[in-house]
């Protein structure tokens, strides 16, 4: 029991360290990228030289990445996540107001994507008909080839929910992996033996196929969370959904360091939790030590 607690503590510490490292790396990337010191307000001809200089001086405060990040972490411990440079509002308020919509969008989008993935992949792997396989390949290939912005626009055009656009962006990626893994699982010798011995399809699926593919499918599922997060940016921006994806795009364009660091920390946390959970469950299914 004590050993388990140490293990959990170890994993949790590694998680926290990775998240914090992610925030620092993100701040470094943003800081070093060109345009960090630039502010389009400087181009306003009405502004005096003093005002332009004041704009530049305000940016200089976050020049030293390490100092900025240390002070950010200190304030974050008291719940102060800083103020957005672009929107002039507390980052905490911005994230708190927008997170529920994004989480809902992602949850429904991922659920739909996996429903579609597993339905088509299972049927393709089970039926092994070349016509059906080519058809499902063509369908998933079509959605893979349509730009995410176009799918988002289509959802606006057809009054479809944004979650459907996310599902259609994620599904082609997960489908191919799932299909290949399931085909491989179904072609294993013990499956052929089980069939020959008259075992029912449901039993074969749940007792012999699922345990084999679950760890890899969970890995794909973990990664699909990141795909969905990435898809949320164009979908929210085009569908007019005030979520974190829309905020992330505004922050990137404005080089809004406080907002970008917080969003990266959040995304890293979500990604790590998703992937770590997938890993843990995968280990359990395989009967291995976590």
Partner 1 sequence: MRRHKRGFEQMTNTCGKAIAVAMLCLGFLLGHALAQGGGELRFCLRTEPKTFDPLKVEDDASAAIRYLTGGVLVRVNRQTQGLEPGLAVSWKVSKDGRQISFRLRSGVLFSDGTPFSAEDVAYTVQQLMDPALHSPTGDAFRSGVGNVETNVISPTQIAITFPAQVAGLDRLFDQVAILSGRSSKKEMAVLGPFTVADYKPGASVLLKRNPNYWKTDEQGRKLPYLDSIRLDIQPNRDVELLRFKRGELDLINSLDSEYFDKLAATSPQLVHDAGASLDSEQLWFNEVAKSPIPAYKKNWFRSANFRRAISEAINRDDLSRVVFHGHAQPAVGPFSPANKFWFNSKLGPQPYSSDAALKALQDEGFRMENGTLKDKDGNEVVFSIITNSGNKYRERMAVLIQDDLQKIGIHVNVVTLDFPSLIERMTQTFDYEAIILGLTNVDLDPNGEMNVWLSSSENHQWNPQQKAPETAWEAEIDRLMRAQASSSDPKKRKEAFDRVQEIVVEQEPFIFLINKNALSAVSAAVRGAAPVILSPQTFWNAERLTVAAK
Partner 2 sequence: MSLWQKLACVILTLVLCGSVAANWLAPAGYAKQYREATDAPPSRAHWLGTDEMGRDRFARVLYGTRISLLLAPAAALLSTLMAALIGGLAGYWGGIWARMAMAVTDLFLSLPWLFLLITARALMPLNVSPLVSVMVTFMLLGLLGWTTAARVLCTTAASLLGSDFVRQARAAGLPGQRLFWIHVVPNLKPVLYAQFWISIPVFILSEANLGILGLGVAEPMPSWGSLLKELEGLVSIGEEPWKFVPLILLVVVVTSFQVLLSKQEEMAA
- Interaction site with partner 1 (CB under 8 A): 33-52, 54-55, 86-89, 94, 97-98, 153, 156-157, 237-243, 246-247, 250, 253-255
Both tokens of 61, joined, read: 């405060």
- Residue number, 47 or 285, with CB nearest to partner 2: 285
Spatial distance between the Cα atoms of 118 and 114, rounded to a whole number of angstroms:
6
Contact 171, 184 (CB under 8 A): no
Minimum distance from CB of 203 to partner 2 (Å)?
21
Spatial distance between the Cα atoms of 85 and 30, rounded to a whole number of angstroms:
14
Residues 213-232 that bind partner 2 (CB under 8 A): 215-216, 218-220, 222-223, 226-227
Spatial distance between the Cα atoms of 234 and 100, rounded to a whole number of angstroms:
18
Q: Which of 8, 29, 192, 280 binds partner 2 (CB under 8 A)?
A: 29
What is the per-residue DSSP string for 176-209? HHHHHHHHHHHTSHHHHHHHHTT--HHHIIIIII
Minimum distance from CB of 6 to partner 2 (Å)?
15
Residue 169-208 contact track with partner 2, rule CB under 8 A, x = bound: ---xx--xx-xxx-xx--x---------------------
The entry of partner 2, partner 1, none that residue 97 binds, CB within 5 to 8 Å by partner kind:
partner 1
Sole residue written with tokens 């079509």? 142
Q: What are phi and psi of 90, to 5 degrees?
A: -60, 135
For residue 245, state whether it binds partner 2 (rule: CB under 8 A): no
Both tokens of 39, joined, read: 């502010």
Spatial distance between the Cα atoms of 20 and 26, rounded to a whole number of angstroms:
10
Both tokens of 59, joined, read: 């940016």
Among 289, 266, 260, 287, which residue's Cα sits nearest to residue 32?
Answer: 260
Contact 23, 81 (CB under 8 A): no
* Partners of 83 in beta bridges: 90
Minimum distance from CB of 270 to partner 2 (Å)?
8
Minimum distance from CB of 81 to partner 1 (Å)?
16
Stretch that binds partner 2, among 19-27, 71-79, 91-99, 160-168 (CB under 8 A): 19-27
Residues 113-142 that bind partner 2 (CB under 8 A): 130, 133-134, 137-138, 141-142
Interaction site with partner 2 (CB under 8 A)? 14, 18, 21-22, 25-26, 29-30, 32-35, 130, 133-134, 137-138, 141-142, 144-150, 153-154, 157, 172-173, 176-177, 179-181, 183-184, 187, 212, 215-216, 218-220, 222-223, 226-227, 248, 252, 260, 264, 267-268, 271-272, 275, 278-279, 282, 286, 288
């Amino acid at each position: 029991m004590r050993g388990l607690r140490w293990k959990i503590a170890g994993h949790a510490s590694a998680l926290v360290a990775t998240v914090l490292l992610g925030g620092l790396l993100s701040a470094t990337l943003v800081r070093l990228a060109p345009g960090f010191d630039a502010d389009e307000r400087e181009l306003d001809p009405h502004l005096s030289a003093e005002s332009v200089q004041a704009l530049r001086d305000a940016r200089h405060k976050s020049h030293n990445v390490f100092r900025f990040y240390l002070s950010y972490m200190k304030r974050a411990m008291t719940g102060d996540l800083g103020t957005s440079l672009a929107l002039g509002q507390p980052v905490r308020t911005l994230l708190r107001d927008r997170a529920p919509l994004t989480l809902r969008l992602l949850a429904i989008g991922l659920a739909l994507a996996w429903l579609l993935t597993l339905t088509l992949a299972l049927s393709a792997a089970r039926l092994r008909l070349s016509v059906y396989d080519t058809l499902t390949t063509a369908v998933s290939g079509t959605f893979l080839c349509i730009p995410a912005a176009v799918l988002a626009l289509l959802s606006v055009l057809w009054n479809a929910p944004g979650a459907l656009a996310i599902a259609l962006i994620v599904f082609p990626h997960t489908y191919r992996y799932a299909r290949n893994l399931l085909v491989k699982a179904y072609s294993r010798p013990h499956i052929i033996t089980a069939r020959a011995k008259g075992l029912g399809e449901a039993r074969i699926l749940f007792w012999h196929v699922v345990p084999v593919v679950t760890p890899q499918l969970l890995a794909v599922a973990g990664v699909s969370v990141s795909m969905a997060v990435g898809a949320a940016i164009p979908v929210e921006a085009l569908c007019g959904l005030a979520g974190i994806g829309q905020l992330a795009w505004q922050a990137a364009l404005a080089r809004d360091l406080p907002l970008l660091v917080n969003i990266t920390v959040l995304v890293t946390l979500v990604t790590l939790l998703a992937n770590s959970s997938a890993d843990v469950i995968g280990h359990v299914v395989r009967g291995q030590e976590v």
